[in-house]
Amino acid sequence: MQEKNANAEALASAAVTVSGKVQGVYYRKFAQENAVRLGLAGFARNLPDGRVEVVAEGQHADVEKLIILLRQGPAFARVEDVDVRWTSPSGAFRDFSIKR
């Protein structure tokens, strides 16, 4: 039990690429609002190929919660695929922003 709690509290970083109908449907704002609520830092941005990239850093358990929410997306989105790459936290982010 102790190990599980330590893992949940460890800092983590995930680079998430989301495909489907995820641009023009409030997806980046949805990601930002949920990341801020969870106390995460990072960014969300549209990619030229129609996907959205989300990079989030913070407590491992909170990053996992965000990924669950990203799989659902906002009401008008249609999420088809979510690719998650776990990376080492960079500590480079102070807040969660929407990149243009």
Q: Which of 5, 34, 45, 46 is catalytic?
A: 46
Q: How far is CA 67 from CA 62, 83, 84, in A?
A: 9, 10, 8
Q: Is 28 a catalytic residue?
A: yes
Q: Is 7 a catalytic residue?
A: no
How many angstroms separate the most distant Cα atoms in the chain?
Answer: 44
CB 22 within 8 A of CB 52: yes
Q: Which of 5, 7, 28, 100 is catalytic?
A: 28
Residues assigned a catalytic role: 28, 46
